[in-house]
Structure 1
């Protein structure tokens, strides 16, 4: 991959982005769906709550919070116990009327039913993920691809009424594949939560995965801000852009390149970084010294 950062640029970026990370710490969790996952004490509950929250992390923040709260509220105090005892027919009734943009009762029911099968077969979602994981891989791409393919091959008959998951089944949206050029934002977000350790944001539950292998969860905020500070030269969001941004961030922190994700995303979510040059906002911006806008 082409190097896009000079030595001087790397130094200045690291200085400014490290300061940004210090500013946007766990006290800003209320602006993120990760907030819900912190409501659980046991890793087995956090693992399931995290997948639910990340899968629904698309659309407006208020809508995401409402939808995640609705689903996790229905699962009670322990998403793990709820999932072990989950019955798809009962799930369809329980989530009747649920709508999160284009995800409805079938999508949530099938997602939870998939998780139940992962646990029954491999002990946990993490155990299921590890089936396609190779410790020596530079990035998580191959493992993520295998995870999605394996998930979508699980039984879905009680929900969709077909032996094979229909091509238009909405649950497919929750399991994109990097081989299809998708940025896989929501799954990369989930991986960040499960793998990163060492701070009060993420949980580090999946010990066998190296944080250095993670890829940035690329959304519209990260794509736009990354262009503004020279982390990518690409125009179209997708897996290639996510890889290029991650490669640039590895020059700043080889062991933990996605540590900057939460802080950079706050700039967009909190409207601290305007879409167009705004003298008032830009003057107060925490990364104005490295911005090319």
Structure 2
């Protein structure tokens, strides 16, 4: 396939999958239940945090999270008492447990009270070449609160060679405006051109078959390589190709 043919093929797949029907089977449906900016941000962040494993299980458990937060995530984050956190202790999604959940609520409160909110803490260190440094600084700010060391593993650090799939997916949701009602485009202070593809086993395998990626591991170095390839295809909106790679891998077994 020539570069032009590859771009045409992937652009067609983006159009096929980047539409409201995609929401029905994706964790992005959780923040779509809300209309207030802060509710969308928090619901999206928590849903993305547990987005590994079976997609049905992810969606079920993310809905459980929202029920435990009384369907008002921002209000719960800002106004919870110590006793309110106790009802979270039985939550579990794989290795993310109730203690982690309570710590994340406290971390989010800290971000909104002391760092002007999620958008501000990410945009402070964002630049035109990528958001890897911004993710690293966000993690540092998030864990300024008292926490168990084990809870830190639930936010990846790209500066430690992680592909940070879940947080890059979350940033796609918040930053990218696709005009189809899937991604939110809520955060105007960050350019979609700086986004990175949420690299996982599906998108990685498809990218290798299409010669967009040579590196075998799905790590930070592979993400950099894939980012560069996707930016050559569309410098202003490289992460739209996440829909093509994911759709080809998950729905078509490409």
Normalized against structure 2, the TM-score is what? Answer: 0.94
Of 184, 207, 228, the match for 2:164: 184
- Residues 86 and 116 in structure 1, CA contact (< 8 A), matched pair in contact too: no
Task: Report the alpha carbon displacement of residue 155 of structure 1 after superposing the two structures with TM.
Answer: 1.3
Please say if 1:106 is aligned against 2:65: no
Distance 1:143 1:252 in 2: 24
Q: Higher mean Cα deviation, 207-216 or 81-90?
A: 81-90
- Residues 66 and 72 in structure 2, CA contact (< 8 A), matched pair in contact too: no
Please say if 1:95 is aligned against 2:88: yes
Normalized against structure 1, the TM-score is what? Answer: 0.82
Correspondence for 1:244: 225
Distance 1:139 1:251 in 2: 14
Distance 1:191 1:62 in 2: 22
Larger radius of gyration: 1
Task: Report the alpha carbon displacement of residue 150 of structure 1 after superposing the two structures with TM.
Answer: 1.9
Unaligned residue ranges in structure 2 (runs of 5+): none
Unaligned residue ranges in structure 1 (runs of 5+): 1-7, 157-164, 275-293
Give the root-mean-square deviation of aligned CA atoms: 1.5
Distance 2:232 2:124 in 1: 30
Alignment of 1:17-96 (within 5 A): 17-24=10-17, 25-91=19-85, 93-96=86-89
Of 120, 137, 140, the match for 1:149: 140
- Residues 89 and 102 in structure 2, CA contact (< 8 A), matched pair in contact too: no
Distance 1:57 1:20 in 2: 23
Report how many aligned residue pairs link the two structures: 252
Task: Report the alpha carbon displacement of residue 11 of structure 1 after superposing the two structures with TM.
Answer: 0.8
- Residues 77 and 108 in structure 2, CA contact (< 8 A), matched pair in contact too: yes
Distance 2:244 2:130 in 1: 22
